[in-house]
Structure 1
Amino acid sequence: MDIIFNPPVNEENQYIQLVVGELRAKGYRIHPLDTFFSSVRHFRSIKLVHLNWFENVDDSSFFVALRSFVRKLTVLVIIKLSGKPLVWTMHNRTSHEKGLAFFSRTLTRLLVRWSWRVVIHSHQSTELLLAAHGAKASRKAVYIPHPNFIGVYGAVQPATHQGDEALHLLFTGMVKPYKNLELLIDVVSTFGPEVQLTIAGKAIDGQYQQQVARQAAKAGNVQFLPYFVPDSELATLLASADAMALPYDLSSSLNSGTIILAFSYQRTVICPDIGTVADLGTYRQYVFHYEYVTEDEHRTALKEQVARAVAMKRQDPTALERMGAQLQDYMAEAYNPHQVGVELDGIYHELLGRQA
């Protein structure tokens, strides 16, 4: 069966490779959205379209955003008119791009309205759909767990800093403003040598990279590695940390593959109560989670959780490792990539059967 799953490849995000791999194993021929209109024959052969992050618009300038918006709007209208089943995965509360939010809000509304099913990776998403788009939209939601990353980047490696009393924190991923790295550096700097933070990731642009680098250098206990971490180095990097620190913006963040990555490699996290964390149930006790409304509340809550982790490691040097091991066990059981493929296959067949 030929379907569009877009994007079909993402070298910086193994989520796509895991999901596409499971679909191909079930016999689906995966095509990128760019080929959708390559020929009449190909267009007719496509049975279903599944979009990820399609609501995001490059807001580097108004004209770039407008061009991106018009192109995406045109594609959505054609999919709608074609009658082909449309599936959309809801990854975020709202787009992280804040500059020209009208464009992404409009695309999101159309995706919710015209999708036959909305795949969600956290149960909180149903409430958000209901509040923002009504009961009809929330009834389209189908929960499928985010696939875990166990073994994807190699085996779990022994902790690097055994016997070191300092708390070693790690942030990895794209270095973007909504991830509150300035706040994280500021909070960590107040602990002095008790806490060591490593930030490893490619910055969204050179100006922001310089801003983070200056603040990290001033803090004195922060190391900034301003590059995309190769897959071959990720397990080693995770082994160098007691926990990951991910102070995401609650106004836009909902799911986090980086949190799933941490758990997959036996690391707990310090993180706000986004959807991924809220879904852990009793396993939330193994996470340093918190809530906030204002920036001042975020600073206070983040500092409290870092202090709690410092005290816990000081009292029992293996406590954080045991928390990470518990979380990995839960990932293996409840976030199995094979199950993701099974459930997507079920959704696709249901929709194609309904179309027939």
Structure 2
Amino acid sequence: MRVVVFPAYRENPFLGLLLSGAEREGATIVDARTLDELAAALAVGPAETVLSIHWTNPVAQSTRNPAVAVRNALRLRRLLRAAKAQGARVVWTVHNVLPHGARFPRIERWLHRMLAAEADRVHVMHPDTAALAAPRYRLPADRVRHIAHPSYAGAVAPAADRAAERARLGIGEREAAVLFLGQMRAYKGVLELVAAAGEARRADGIVLLLAGNATPEEAAAIEAALSDHPGLRAIRELRFVDDAAVPGWFAAADAVALPYRRILNSGSVLLAATYGAPVLLPDEPHLRRELGDERWVTLFDGPEGLRAAIEAVVVDDAEARAAALAHAAAWTGEQAGAAYLALLHEAREA
């Protein structure tokens, strides 16, 4: 079996976990990041090929010209149909209902409808995906298969020492450290987090940890937001965080804040669990159904809820950390890779 991966964003370890079963079986994995690379990959051995398609970034978000985006979208449909006519099969993984910050929402809706129509199997990671997508496009119930997002257990660097990392960052023994890790995009709610942390009050203090890449505009917006709360202590590293540094940030934190405005599947939640870090999440119905009973998850409603959740963070909550680690161990990349391999075989036989 040949598995063509598009777009092959290998910097995202999720892809490696998902494809691990196919790699163990000896499948040929072909990476494609652009439409030209995809066309070349699909031209080889189509009868033995399953296209594992993920994000639509190279199609409609690689240009600022809507005409080019439309041309790219139509080209993708032609590529899929031509490959399928020669025996290839398509498995589409739904990462988001629609991409965050999509430049051309109407084109993205068309793309998602097209992928739903053309895919031989649709891989969803949350059981509510079809219902959440329904206002924008319909997923075919007979072709939808659920394989949950795995944790990163065994696929990332080992945990760091908490005391050493907090000492390195100058965090007090009783200070509540709240971490925001990752790209500082507006849709992730980083400015709302700064405001909530700035308004929160705790006798032993709060320190906000901000670690991740920011554009100059995003960095300026964060600094302006912090200046509105001069009493808030913030430790920030507004640049790309190397993989080797990630465990240290999690070790130092008492909670990881994920105040995203729209969450369907969040690898950040599973990464936090992998490092035994409690998380603060928006109280959305599908997240409550999935994680509402988890000891390591605190759901909050709106800005006031986020402020209250920060005020309630428990410093060095051993029970929550153990619950997070247990959650991560319950569904690993190896298990998800085996399930996805079975799905690839099912698609080939469709």
Structure 2 length-normalised TM: 0.86
Give the aligned partner of residue 144 of structure 1.
147
* 8 Å contact kept, 2:255–2:280: yes
Give the aligned partner of residue 179 of structure 1.
188
Q: Which stretch has the larger CA shift, 115-124 or 219-228?
A: 219-228
2:111 aligned to which of 107, 113, 124: 107
Indicate the SS of the match to 2:162: coil
Give the aligned partner of residue 265 of structure 2.
255
* 8 Å contact kept, 2:250–2:277: yes
CA gap 1:4/1:61 in 2 versus in 1, 3 angstroms: closer
Give the aligned partner of residue 156 of structure 1.
159
The letter of the residue matching 1:29 is: T
Following the alignment from structure 2 to structure 1, what is the Cα–Cα distance between the partners of residues 342 and 142? 17
1:8-23 matches, cutoff 5 A: 8-11=8-11, 13-23=12-22
2:344 aligned to which of 341, 345, 348: 348
Q: Structure 2: which 5+ runs fail to align? A: none
Following the alignment from structure 2 to structure 1, what is the Cα–Cα distance between the partners of residues 58 and 300? 27
Q: CA RMSD in A?
A: 2.5
Indicate the SS of the match to 1:8: coil
Indicate the SS of the match to 1:87: strand
Give the aligned partner of residue 294 of structure 1.
none
Indicate the SS of the match to 2:22: helix
Q: Percent identity?
A: 21
1:239 is displaced (CA, Å) by: 0.6
1:36 is displaced (CA, Å) by: 3.6
Indicate the SS of the match to 1:42: coil
Following the alignment from structure 1 to structure 2, what is the Cα–Cα distance between the partners of residues 61 and 76? 18
Indicate the SS of the match to 1:157: coil
2:257 aligned to which of 235, 241, 245: 245
* 8 Å contact kept, 2:4–2:41: no
Give the aligned partner of residue 300 of structure 1.
304
The letter of the residue matching 2:320 is: M
2:220 aligned to which of 210, 213, 217: 210
Following the alignment from structure 2 to structure 1, what is the Cα–Cα distance between the partners of residues 43 and 298? 53
Indicate the SS of the match to 1:248: coil
Give the length in aligned residue pairs: 333
CA gap 1:172/1:58 in 2 versus in 1, 3 angstroms: farther
* 8 Å contact kept, 1:179–1:247: yes
Following the alignment from structure 2 to structure 1, what is the Cα–Cα distance between the partners of residues 49 and 59? 26
1:104 is displaced (CA, Å) by: 1.2
Following the alignment from structure 2 to structure 1, what is the Cα–Cα distance between the partners of residues 41 and 13? 30
* 8 Å contact kept, 2:21–2:341: no
Indicate the SS of the match to 2:349: helix
The letter of the residue matching 2:280 is: I
* 8 Å contact kept, 2:91–2:347: no
1:50-89 matches, cutoff 5 A: 50-54=52-56, 62-63=64-65, 65-83=66-84, 84-89=88-93
The letter of the residue matching 1:102 is: R
Give the aligned partner of residue 165 of structure 1.
174
* 8 Å contact kept, 1:199–1:224: yes
Q: Deviations over 1:60-85 (max 9, x none)?
A: 8641x542442243122221243222
The letter of the residue matching 1:8 is: A
The letter of the residue matching 2:155 is: V
Give the aligned partner of residue 234 of structure 2.
222
1:111 is displaced (CA, Å) by: 1.0
Following the alignment from structure 2 to structure 1, what is the Cα–Cα distance between the partners of residues 137 and 14? 27
Give the aligned partner of residue 28 of structure 1.
27
* 8 Å contact kept, 1:256–1:276: no
* 8 Å contact kept, 1:130–1:137: no
Following the alignment from structure 1 to structure 2, what is the Cα–Cα distance between the partners of residues 299 and 142? 35
Following the alignment from structure 2 to structure 1, what is the Cα–Cα distance between the partners of residues 192 and 149? 28
Indicate the SS of the match to 2:123: strand
Indicate the SS of the match to 1:261: helix
1:281-300 matches, cutoff 5 A: 282-283=293-294, 285-291=295-301, 298-300=302-304
The letter of the residue matching 2:7 is: P
1:245 is displaced (CA, Å) by: 0.6
Following the alignment from structure 1 to structure 2, what is the Cα–Cα distance between the partners of residues 282 and 92? 24
Following the alignment from structure 1 to structure 2, what is the Cα–Cα distance between the partners of residues 71 and 59? 10
The letter of the residue matching 2:217 is: Q
Q: Deviations over 1:20-46 (max 9, x none)?
A: 333211211111234343388615365
Indicate the SS of the match to 1:50: strand
CA gap 1:232/1:55 in 2 versus in 1, 3 angstroms: closer
Following the alignment from structure 1 to structure 2, what is the Cα–Cα distance between the partners of residues 308 and 170? 15
* 8 Å contact kept, 1:92–1:254: yes
